[in-house]
Amino acid sequence: MRRLHVPLDLGDAGVRGLLPGDLPGLLVKTVHVPFMRGVVRHALDITVQPRAQLRIRLAADRGGHAEHVAPDDGAREPQARDGGLPEHVCTRRNIPNGRHRPPFRHTRRADATELRPVDPRAPRVVRAEKRRCQAEDTGNRDDPDAHGRLLYTVSEILHRSQTPVPIQVGIIGGGNISETHARAAAGIDGVAVAGVYGDNREKAARLAASHGARHHDTLDSLLSQALDLVIIGSPSGRHAEHGIAAASRGVHVLVEKPIDVSTSRADALIDAADRAGVKLGVCFQDRVKPAIIRLKQFLDAGGLGPLILVDARVKWYRPPEYYSGSRWRGTWALDGGGAVINQAIHTIDLLLWLIGKVRRVSARTATALHRIETEDTAVAVFEFTNGALGTFEASTSAYPGYPRRVEISGREGTIVLEHDQVVAADLRSSDATSFETSERDTNASASSPVVSDVAGHRKLIEDFIHAMRTGGEPRCSGREGRRSVALVEALYESAKRAETVDVN
């Protein structure tokens, strides 16, 4: 006998129970009760035996029960078709509207799952006595009856089983940012870090062990696990590759910034997610931070009037070992660039989100301190489509490193953002005091790649899961994440050609 945790998805499609597929000889994997509507997901513990069958039947009074039945000794067991998996049996009788429908059998095929009428020669469903369903049961429902059955009414499932089905999250990567993703996901109620895969086997195994997750030696092994979502923290130049693999398995994809190192790769990932019908999001956690959300709302409402000038500075510092200790940082192939696309891309996304699209860019880059292929220092001038001008600085060579600072000026005043907090708001109107300012932020990201506070990532994951459940869009979708890569590509092209270029 084995004790299994059986999730029941009580959503718009009805009640759905999914039994784990690792039990040898399990006949029934899916059962469906079609009359429940608009109820959240729950779970039910069911004791099963090898080759057990789980049934759900409906009574005319809209009540129902789930049976765990050990097959009779003389019963003929269903055979696998075409050498494949055994047929999965699901019966539906006595539909509440009074119409009788024949039972159906789910047949699992390699390319589809279809409904077929049950062969009349198939084993009959073992029926529980109707009076047992309707009578008051004072016994322990957690114990099988004399026939090895567990019987639950649907109302019992709803009212007695209050355990949410956890969202199963897979982590791709084993470095600093994947540890951040795992900590953030583990801090969300109803979310479980289920598996970890990374190129660095030692780091990935350590990360998996710290969260009680399975460690996988290959990406295919991770994606063979039952996952709802993967969070990708592998080197930037592999984001699309890993995301496409996950999307093709029907798994939702949340990818660390940037979405990948080129717009062509970003487009490939976006197309793959669209084809698979899964959600795709990019980790730009500025978009879920309360102070920045209030700032966007203020700007969108015209609080500063027409915008005139934006000044963004990311003067950070990374020690030489930050690059020398990594095989991919500071490379064109896997990092896609240096300080701009790795560190300052958060600020580029912020400008695009707060201010609007950039029409043209003129930039210069340099490798001033570090021994890397790409830039560690960059400056640029942005021409926004709304007429505002912007200056932009990015560096990982500015010792000791200073918090990101963005100053936004319009006809009605100036607002200053430091890291992720508004520290000054000087406005012409009497509403100047209505925009709250905050204490200066002490986050150490200006001088360290380690994320000390995962609150932003946690909110971002919560937002993405909400989009998964509701069918809406996450705060930063794949298409939104592509915009920052397009601007970075134009910036690098401008620096290479030493001239102003248009942004695609």
pLDDT tens-digit profile of 250-284?
A: 999 999 999 999 999 999 999 999 999 999 999 99
Distance, CA of 125 to CA of 75 (rounded, Å): 11
Please determine, for residue 442, whether its predicted confidence score (pLDDT) is greater than 90. Answer: no
Number of other residues whose CB lies within 10 A of the CB of residue 204: 25
Task: Name 483's Cβ contacts closer than 8 Å, sequence gap at least 6.
Answer: 349, 352, 357
Reference 220, options 195, 256, 253, 202; nearest CA is: 195
φ/ψ of 427, rounded to 5, equals -120, 150
Instruction: Give the per-residue pLDDT at 27.
Output: 30
Instruction: Give the per-residue pLDDT at 453.
Output: 80
pTM recorded for the entire structure: 0.70
% of the chain beyond a pLDDT of 90: 61
How many H helices and E strands in the chain? 12, 24
Instruction: Give the per-residue pLDDT at 163.
Output: 54
Token pair for 318: 């990374």
Instruction: Give the per-residue pLDDT at 120.
Output: 39
Cα-to-chain-centroid distance, residue 339:
26
Please determine, for residue 170, whether its predicted confidence score (pLDDT) is greater than 90. Answer: yes
Token pair for 155: 């109302």
Please determine, for residue 96, whether its predicted confidence score (pLDDT) is greater than 80. Answer: no
Instruction: Give the per-residue pLDDT at 367.
Output: 98
Instruction: Give the per-residue pLDDT at 295.
Output: 97
| Average confidence (pLDDT) over 114-133 | 36
pLDDT tens-digit profile of 18-55?
A: 333 333 333 333 333 333 333 333 333 333 333 333 33
Token pair for 82: 């075409």
Please determine, for residue 161, whether its predicted confidence score (pLDDT) is greater than 90. Answer: no
Measured CA angle at 473 (ends 467, 474), to 5 deg: 70
Instruction: Give the per-residue pLDDT at 156.
Output: 54
Question: Does an H or E element contain 352, and which?
Answer: helix 345-354
CA distances to 194, 227, 371, 399, 473 from 205, in Å: 12, 18, 31, 34, 33
Tokens 């990932």: give the residue.
Answer: 269
**Cα-Cα end-to-end distance for the chain:** 61
Token pair for 345: 């891309």
Average pLDDT, the chain: 77
Position with higher pLDDT, 453 vs 74 = 453
Distance, CA of 404 to CA of 419 (rounded, Å): 5
Strand, coil or helix: 478: helix
Say which range, 52-56, 338-342, 393-397, has the weakest mean pLDDT. 52-56
Reference 193, options 202, 179, 37, 115; nearest CA is: 179
Instruction: Give the per-residue pLDDT at 504.
Output: 83
Distance, CA of 29 to CA of 18 (rounded, Å): 6
Tokens 């999001």: give the residue.
Answer: 281
Please determine, for residue 437, whether its predicted confidence score (pLDDT) is greater than 80. Answer: no
* The CATH number of domain 287-452+479-502, selected from 3.30.70.990, 3.90.25.10, 3.30.360.10, 3.40.50.10860: 3.30.360.10
Distance, CA of 374 to CA of 25 (rounded, Å): 56
CA distances to 222, 237, 309, 423 from 426, in Å: 52, 42, 15, 10
Cite the residue boundaries of each domain of the chain with CATH code 3.30.360.10. 287-452+479-502
Please determine, for residue 451, whether its predicted confidence score (pLDDT) is greater than 70. Answer: no
Maximum mean pLDDT: which of 24-38, 58-72, 98-112, 300-314: 300-314
Predicted confidence band at 3 (pLDDT cuts at 50, 70, 90)?
A: very low
Q: What is the DSSP letter of 467?
A: H
Instruction: Give the per-residue pLDDT at 325.
Output: 93
Position with higher pLDDT, 77 vs 396 = 396
Distance, CA of 85 to CA of 108 (rounded, Å): 7
Angle between helix 478-497 and 345-354 (nearest 10): 110
Exposure string over 147-180, b if 16+ CB within 10 A, otherwise e: ebbbbbbbebbbeebeeebbbbbbbbbbbebbbb
Position with higher pLDDT, 12 vs 300 = 300
Instruction: Give the per-residue pLDDT at 444.
Output: 58
Instruction: Give the per-residue pLDDT at 338.
Output: 98
Please determine, for residue 322, whether its predicted confidence score (pLDDT) is greater than 50. Answer: yes
Say which range, 65-79, 144-158, 311-325, 390-404, has the weakest mean pLDDT. 65-79
Predicted confidence band at 249 (pLDDT cuts at 50, 70, 90)?
A: very high
Say which range, 4-18, 273-287, 374-388, 480-494, has the weakest mean pLDDT. 4-18
Sign of the torsion angle spanned by Cα atoms 286, 288, 290, 293: positive
Distance, CA of 445 to CA of 455 (rounded, Å): 14
Identity of the amino acid at 348: I
Token pair for 218: 């290959």
CA distances to 145, 271, 460, 500 from 465, in Å: 39, 20, 9, 40
At the fourth CATH level, which superfamily is domain 167-284? Answer: NAD(P)-binding Rossmann-like Domain (3.40.50.720)
Please determine, for residue 173, whether its predicted confidence score (pLDDT) is greater than 90. Answer: yes
